[in-house]
Structure 1
Amino acid sequence: MRKQPELRLPKKAVQVWRIQNSIDTLFFALVPVVYYFVQLYIFESFYAWLTWAFAGFVVLYGTVRILIWPKIQWYRFRYEVFEDEIDIQQGVIIVRRTLVPMVRVQHVDTEQGPILQRYKMSAVSITTAATTHQIPTLFIDDADALRDQIASLASVHEDE
């Protein structure tokens, strides 16, 4: 059996994921708010207690998604780049291990959203004919170096 990949994401990834998950939870929190106003003004016969049940579920969901999930996600995510392949391990409940052969890599991108820009971080996307694999939340210099390394290794295999 092959050993686990050795490289981890920076610890700052946990903070970035917490912010991203907070924004997701805020959108999810609109469900009890909308239900409350619909129940209050449109359908007065709706069950009022459902508003509190939805709100409690959002609080529970937000607590797990913001405080617990990112730490476990960071702990489980690992990657390593070899001469012939990229090894990515990710997942919290179901751990998925992906080997991306260098000969299959079509192109490599770095991308940033506003939150990643704020923390001077970037994500590396590795595209093959079938799908795109991502190594999220690396510092910009590390992401650029990794992108260049993968692009270099992939182009060497194309030439052969």
Structure 2
Amino acid sequence: MYTELKNQIDPAGLKVWRIQAMINAFIFLIVVIAVFVLTYFFDFYSWIQYTLLGIWIVNSFLTIYLFPKIRWNRWRYEVREEEIEIQSGLFVVERTLVPMVRVQHVETVQGPILKRYNLAIMSVSTAATIHMIPALRIEEADELRARISRLARVAEDDV
């Protein structure tokens, strides 16, 4: 068995994910409406439009309401002296260990929706991969970025 990681992302991240899902659902709705218009003018099978509408309804419910909540409950992280451990996933929980000696750089990113909720995404880059911790309070992300940078330098000096 494994122990639960200490840190969870900010609850406002749930709102951000839902807003992003609503934007995607709106774009999908425009496609569904376009299909309705095309089937009206070109006499396609009407079951196509109703199937797409049903898919849109189910997809919107899952991506706006259900999946963000599950994803938020799963997201955890912990920064230790020697490593960063990240837990994520929707249906399959994935746990990743990033050794401090492998960290090349750390950055924070903040888009317009994240900025509205005073959040940022922190990404940790190694030679091969980029690991992200989404929806951290901007102050926490800046503090964490500085701490990881300091620990990565110390780990590099020890090697």
State the TM-score, normalized to the length of structure 1.
Answer: 0.94
Q: Distance in 1 between matches of 2:94 and 2:23?
A: 26
Are 1:150 and 2:144 an aligned pair?
Answer: no
1:153 positional shift: 0.5
Q: Does the CA contact (< 8 Å) of 1:108 and 1:127 recur in 2?
A: yes
Q: 1:100 aligns with which of 98, 101, 114?
A: 98
1:35 positional shift: 1.5
In the alignment, what sits opposite 2:70? 72
1:4 positional shift: 2.5
1:31 positional shift: 2.6
In the alignment, what sits opposite 2:15? 15
Q: Does the CA contact (< 8 Å) of 1:108 and 1:147 recur in 2?
A: yes
Structure 1: segments with no counterpart, 5+ residues? none
Residues 21-100 of structure 1 correspond to what in structure 2 (within 5 A)? 21-41=21-41, 43-44=42-43, 46-100=44-98
1:47 positional shift: 0.7
| Percent of paired sites with the same residue | 45
CA distances 1:80-127 after superposition (whole Å, capped 9, x unpaired): 000010000000111111000101111000001110011111110001
CA distances 1:22-57 after superposition (whole Å, capped 9, x unpaired): 11111222331222222223x32x211211110111
State the TM-score, normalized to the length of structure 2.
Answer: 0.94
Select between 32-41 and 6-15 the one with higher mean Cα deviation: 32-41
Structure 2: segments with no counterpart, 5+ residues? none
Q: Distance in 1 between matches of 2:132 and 2:148?
A: 13
Q: Does the CA contact (< 8 Å) of 1:32 and 1:52 recur in 2?
A: no
Residue identity matched to 2:48: L
Select between 113-122 and 23-32 the one with higher mean Cα deviation: 23-32
Are 1:132 and 2:91 an aligned pair?
Answer: no
Q: Distance in 2 between matches of 1:89 and 1:59?
A: 30
Residue identity matched to 1:40: Y
Q: Distance in 2 between matches of 1:108 and 1:3?
A: 26
Greater than 6 Å deviation, 4+ residue runs? none
Q: Distance in 2 between matches of 1:137 and 1:40?
A: 43
